[in-house]
Amino acid sequence: MQATADKQLVGQHFSRAARSYDEHAILQLAVGRSLVQRLPAQLPVNHALDLGCATAPFARAQQQALPDVHWQAVDLSPAMLAEAAVRGRLNERYQPLCADAEQLPLAEASQGLVFSCFALQWCDPQAVLQDISRVLAPAGRVLLAVPLGGSLQELQQSWQAVNQRPHVNALPTFNDWQNAAFKAGFADPDLQQQVMVEYYDSVKSIARRLKATGADHVSGATGLTGKNAWQAMVAEYETKRTSQGLPLTWNVLFLEAEKS
């Protein structure tokens, strides 16, 4: 599993996608809204983080759910945080913080909640949950959704039929996250896995969607893809077409845990 090596590249890809993110991240935004529904009614400490917030699409709902809480919108990408400001989502109680989720520049036990949606898939589960645990106060909660290995499987299989170069990230598994949660000291974590399938009319629209949401960064990928290889991959992907269109599978983990 590639973990922390290319954080800068992850940030750069997302910076390029800052403008287009909200319009294309339909599935991410639906998952995030369901996470907001699970927010606790109160926190042990009135400070919370949205880790990998991008344009901070949940800021208003999070503030409505927890009006007394001071939020920090954390992201690797300054352009995403700038876009959050342009969209009027930052305010006195919802402040930006450009930082790496694995190395939060925050004091121990300073937070009552860590929220994160579709952002920690490039992190090492152990390192990121360890740092989340460090900044959480006793009885503080972590609430996250993250795609697991098996996501984008149709794209991966289609490329595999063409060449052995990496075209889809090898994401951490359910067990990686479960073990990391125990090691980070969360005694009774609740982990649930949900398979979600989107349908597209063409491989081109799938590629456009992944690019527009910054999800096209692949660790270890080198060079450009030739036209012949692309066409062979498209032909392979077309064999998976259903009456609803071309499937794109996301294998999503919901993790909720309390710090003892």
Ligand X SMILES: C[S@@+](CC[C@H](N)C(=O)[O-])C[C@H]1O[C@@H](n2cnc3c(N)ncnc32)[C@H](O)[C@@H]1O
Find the residue with minimal CB distance to ligand X: 52
Residue number with CB closer to ligand X (11 or 149): 11
Residue number with CB closer to ligand X (145 or 181): 145
- For tokens 């992944």, what's the residue? 210
Q: Find the Cα–Cα–Cα–Cα dihedral 229, 20, 242, 150, rounded to 10°.
A: 70
CA distances from 65 to 62, 71, 74 (A): 5, 12, 19
Q: Look at residue 85 and give its three-state secondary structure.
A: helix
Minimal distance, residue 123 CB to ligand X, in Å:
5
Minimal distance, residue 254 CB to ligand X, in Å:
13
Minimal distance, residue 63 CB to ligand X, in Å:
15
Number of C-beta neighbours around residue 65 at 10 A: 15
Minimal distance, residue 55 CB to ligand X, in Å:
7
Number of C-beta neighbours around residue 37 at 10 A: 8
Residue number with CB closer to ligand X (45 or 82): 82
Listed in order, strand segments (DSSP E) in the chain are 47-51, 70-75, 94-98, 111-117, 136-147, 190-200, 246-258
Residue number with CB closer to ligand X (72 or 77): 77
Alpha helices in the chain (DSSP H): 7-16, 21-24, 26-37, 59-65, 78-86, 125-135, 153-160, 174-183, 203-212, 227-238
Q: What secondary structure letter does DSSP report for 43?
A: -
Residue number with CB closer to ligand X (77 or 158): 77
Minimal distance, residue 165 CB to ligand X, in Å:
23
Residue ranges in contact with ligand X by CB under 6 A: 7, 10-11, 14, 25, 28-29, 32, 52-54, 57, 74-77, 80, 100-102, 117-119, 122-123, 213-214
d(CA 181, CA 26): 28
d(CA 35, CA 49): 14
d(CA 260, CA 258): 6
Minimal distance, residue 229 CB to ligand X, in Å:
26
Residue number with CB closer to ligand X (6 or 258): 6
Minimal distance, residue 28 CB to ligand X, in Å:
4
Is-contact 156 168, C-beta < 8 A? Answer: yes
Residue number with CB closer to ligand X (20 or 157): 20
Is-contact 98 75, C-beta < 8 A? Answer: yes
